[in-house]
A and B are shown apart, each in its own frame.
Chain A
Amino acid sequence: MRRLAAEVGVFGRSTYLQYVALFQWASIRGYIAYKVLLPVTQILFFVELGVYASGRQNALYFALGNAMQLTANAGIFGVIATVANERQYGTLPILLASPANRAVTFLSRAFVNVIDGILTVAVGLGIAVVLFGLDLHHANFPLLAFCVVLISLTTAGLGLMFGSIGLVMRDAIIIANVVYYVLLIVCGINFPVSRLPGVIQLVSYSLPLTRGVQAARDAAAGASFGHVAGLMAGELLVGALWALGGYLLFRLLESWARRGGLQEAY
Chain B
Amino acid sequence: MRSLVRAASSAFSVSVRLRVISPWAYLNWFVFPLLFAAVGLYVLSRPGASGSHLVYGLLGGGLIGYWSVAYIDGGNGIQDERWNGTLEQIFGTPTPLFVIVLGKVCGGLLFGLLAFIPTAALAYFGFNAVFPNLDAWRFVISLGVLTLTFFCIALTLTPLFALWRWAFSMINGFELGVYVLCGFMFPIAVLTPWLQGFAAVLAPTWAVKALYASTLAEGPHDFVAWWLLAGALSLAYMVAAYFLYMLVEREARVSGQLALA
Which residues of A are at the interface with B, using a C-beta cutoff of 8 A? 25, 29-30, 32-34, 36-38, 40-42, 44-46, 48-54, 171, 174, 177-178, 181-182, 184-185, 190-191, 195
In the complex, whether B31 has a CB less than 8 A from a CB of chain A is yes
How distant is the Cα of A41 from the Cα of B32 in the complex, in angstroms? 17
A175 to B31, CA, bound (A): 11
B residues in contact with A51, CB < 8 Å: 190
- Which B157-200 residues have a C-beta within 8 angstroms of A? 166, 169-170, 172-177, 179-180, 185-187, 190-191
Which chain B residues lie closer than 8 Å to A48 at the CB level?
180, 186, 190-191
B185 to chain A, nearest CB (A): 6
Could you tell me the distance in whole angstroms from the C-beta of B24 to the nearest C-beta in chain A? 7
Q: Are the CB atoms of A33 and B40 closer together than 8 Å? A: no
> Which of A45, A181, A184, A191 has a CB less than 8 Å from the CB of B180?
A45
The answer to the question of B23 belonging to the interface, with a C-beta cut-off of 8 Å to chain A, is yes
A44 touching B180, Cβ below 8 Å: yes
Let me know if A190 and B180 touch, CB within 8 A.
no
A33–B170 contact, CB under 8 A? yes
List the count of A-B residue pairs having beta carbons below 8 Å apart: 99
Partner of B24, one of A41, A171, A181: A171
Do residues A185 and B27 form an inter-chain contact, with CB atoms below 8 A? no
Least CB separation from A180: chain B residue: B35
Report whether over half of chain A's contact residues are helix, strand or loop; otherwise say mixed: helix
> Does A190 contact B42, Cβ atoms closer than 8 Å?
yes
Bound: A40/B174 CA distance, A: 9
CA distance A34 to B176 in the complex (A): 12
Which residues of chain B are near A185, meaning CB under 8 Å?
A: 35, 38-39, 42
Give Cα A193–Cα B42 distance, bound, in whole angstroms. Answer: 11
Query: Is A41 a contact partner of B38 (Cβ separation < 8 A)?
Result: no
Return the 3 tightest CB-CB contacts between A and B, nearest first.
A33-B173, A37-B173, A41-B177
Please tell me if B139 contacts chain A, counting CB pairs below 8 Å.
no
**Interface pick from B43-51, B82-90, B107-115, B241-249:** B43-51
Question: How distant is the Cα of A181 from the Cα of B39 in the complex, in angstroms?
Answer: 9
B53 lies within 8 A of chain A by Cβ: yes
**Does B36 sit within 8 A of A, measured CB to CB?**
yes
Nearest-neighbor residue (CB-CB) of B38 within chain A: A185
Interface of B is mostly: helix
Chain B contacts for A46, CB-based, 8 A: 39, 43
Give the shortest distance, in Å, between A184 (CB) and chain B (any CB): 5
Complex interface residues of chain B between 204 and 234 (CB less than 8 A to chain A): none
Contacts of A177 in B (CB 8 A): 27, 31-32
Q: Please indicate the chain B residues that have their CB under 8 angstroms from the CB of A181 in the complex.
A: 32, 35-36, 39
Q: Given A30-B169, A33-B170, A185-B35, are A53 and B43 also a contact pair (CB < 8 Å)? A: yes
Please, could you name 17 A-B residue pairs with CB atoms under 8 Å apart, sorted by A? A33-B174, A36-B173, A37-B173, A37-B177, A38-B176, A44-B180, A46-B43, A52-B53, A52-B56, A52-B190, A171-B23, A174-B27, A181-B35, A181-B36, A181-B39, A185-B42, A191-B43
Determine the chain A residues whose CB is within 8 A of the CB of B44 once the complex forms. Answer: 49, 52-53
Q: Identify the interface centre among A25, A48, A177: most chain B CB within 10 Å of its CB.
A: A48
Q: Which residues of A contact B169 (CB under 8 A)?
A: 25, 29-30, 33-34
A54 to B44, CA, bound (A): 8
CB A189 to nearest CB in B, in angstroms, measures 8
Q: Find chain B residues with CB under 8 A from A52 CB.
A: 44, 53, 56, 186-187, 190
